[in-house]
Structure 1
Amino acid sequence: MFDLFAWLCLCAAVPLAVLTLISNGPQATWQALSHMSLTGFVCVLCLGGISTSIAYWLWGRLLRDHPAAQVVPFALLVPFVGSAASSIVFGERFGPLRLAGMVTVIGGIAVMLLSKRPKALPKVA
């Protein structure tokens, strides 16, 4: 799984670099890269390299050890983790409609994971 992640990073970097050069222009792109602060570089390294690598490694381990039907619903929780982090770090507050949507999605995931699945019938030869 980690090999796939490495190739995905490499394959995505080239088109994204070309798209950046086309949309911003080479001078603005070089200006942004050459004047990046140390804090910005460390953030890119940590978010892009370390945390993404750990997340894909964990995802691969989960898919190896458990059926995909049990693991994949947790991918729906990614926006909620980001929202929770934003709320903790930046003090962002959510309105009742957004909170109701979050509760609805989390409730749907709970129903999906906690419901009894019908057992498969044995195959007759």
Structure 2
Amino acid sequence: MSPKDLCLAVVVIVAWGLNFVVIKVGLDGVPPMLLGALRFTLAALPAIFFIKRPALPLRWLLAYGLTISLGQFAFLFSAMAVGMPAGLASLVLQSQAFFTLFLAALLLGERLRASNLLGLLVAASGLLLIGLQSGGAMTLAGLALTICAAAMWGMGNIITKKVGRVDLLALVVWGSLIPPLPFFALSWLLEGPALIESSLRGIGLSSILAIVYLAFVATLLGYGLWSRLLSRYPASQIAPFSMLVPVIGLSSSAWLLDEQLSQLQMAGALLVMVGLLVNVFGARLFGRFLQVQGRPL
């Protein structure tokens, strides 16, 4: 990978890692469903007038928008609104990798490797430790909702695999056109017109900047650069960079939000990271070990 593209990958990881701190800032002034509506409205408009619609049937565009955009962020924003710390949210959300694996095996017939199952067990034990430390800064409801968000992200990944090769940035932009109306409807039903009106009338600069960041930096810039990297390099070379998102998320939330993890949560976070690493690199390392031992693969 060229130094320029390596820098672009770092930009994406930092943008996505800081995303969780920005969500917390946005939620201080705007309720979760309204925040989702405003984010995706700004991400879709005016970008759809400049980016051509991806060449795929409407049903797949709807499926993508309703899962990876609406479903994922409705659960994630709600989780962080009810007590999920930003740093832990950035980590737990990466369990989408395991949902993707199992949904691919169930729906697409893909094969699960032993390293995938081992990584899942290690990560699940980490999530259990994190869950045991609920209360105070983190609630079980927040943890459960974040896992639901990861499941929706995993389903969105399966839909992306089904549509095949497509312009990722165009998919994100046009997929962002799907969630605003459902988000506004959920906000009306769950948060109420009075809260919507008061939030919009009293919206502060920090909330406005948070929405702008979520729409343009985390969504358009992040996915735009990510799609460029995926078009130039094998997915196996680019995907592991996403493992750094929780590192940025945890460190930035500790620095900017003064979030502190208990020893049990730190142990759980470490286990989740180890599980994710085993999932990504385990098969390759196991294959090399067998080669060194002189055994057939």
Normalised TM-score (structure 2)? 0.35
Paired position in structure 2 for 1:52:
219
In structure 2, relative to structure 1, the CA distance for the partners of 1:25 and 1:110 (3 Å cut) is closer
Aligned positions of 1:96-107 closer than 5 A: 96-107=263-274
Aligned to 2:235: 68
Secondary structure in structure 2 of the residue aligned to 1:10:
coil
SS of residue paired to 1:84: helix
CA contact (8 A) 1:5 1:56 kept: yes
Q: Which runs of 5+ in 1 are unaligned?
A: 119-125
Q: Which amino acid aligns with 2:214?
A: L
Paired with 1:16 and 1:73, the residues of 2 have a C-alpha distance of 32
Residue identity matched to 1:5: V
Aligned residues: 119
Match of 2:248 in 1: 81
**2:207 paired residue number:** 40
Cα distance between partner residues in 1 of 2:193 and 2:262: 41
Q: Distance in 2 between matches of 1:49 and 1:7?
A: 14
User: Identity of counterpart residues, as a percentage?
Assistant: 29
**Matches of 2:179 and 2:244 in 1, distance apart?**
24
- The Cα offsets for residues 65-120 of structure 1, whole Å up to 9 and x where unpaired, read as 333344445445544432221111122221222222232233344443373475xx
Cα contact 1:80–1:102 (8 A) shared by 2: no
Counterpart Cα distance in 2 of 1:18 and 1:28:
13
- State the alpha-carbon separation in 2 of the partners of residues 116 and 33 from structure 1: 52
Q: Distance in 2 between matches of 1:105 and 1:96?
A: 14
| CA distance in 1 between partners of 2:246 and 2:190 (Å) | 27
Q: 1:67 to 1:7 in 2, by over 3 A?
A: same
Larger Rg belongs to:
1
1:113 to 257, 281, 295: 281
TM-score after normalising by structure 1 = 0.73
For structure 2, the 5+ residue unaligned runs are 1-167, 288-297
- 3-state SS of the aligned residue for 2:200? helix
Aligned amino acid, residue 44 of structure 1: I
What is the alpha-carbon distance in structure 2 between the residues aligned to residue 18 and residue 80 of structure 1? 35
Post-superposition offset of 1:20: 0.3
For residues 258 and 192 of structure 2, what CA distance do their matches in structure 1 show? 35
Matched, 1:92 2:259: yes
Q: For 1:71 and 1:117, locate their aligned partners in 2 and report how far apart those are by CA, in whole Å.
A: 21
Cα RMSD for the two superposed structures: 2.7
Distance in structure 2 (CA, Å) of the matches to 1:117 and 1:54? 36
**Could you tell me which residue of structure 1 aligns to residue 89 of structure 2?**
none
Q: Give SS of 1:11's match.
A: coil
Q: Which amino acid aligns with 2:273?
A: I
More RCO (CA 8 Å, sep 6+): 2
Distance of 1:90 and 1:5 partners within structure 2: 29
Separation in 2, partners of 1:64, 1:105: 29
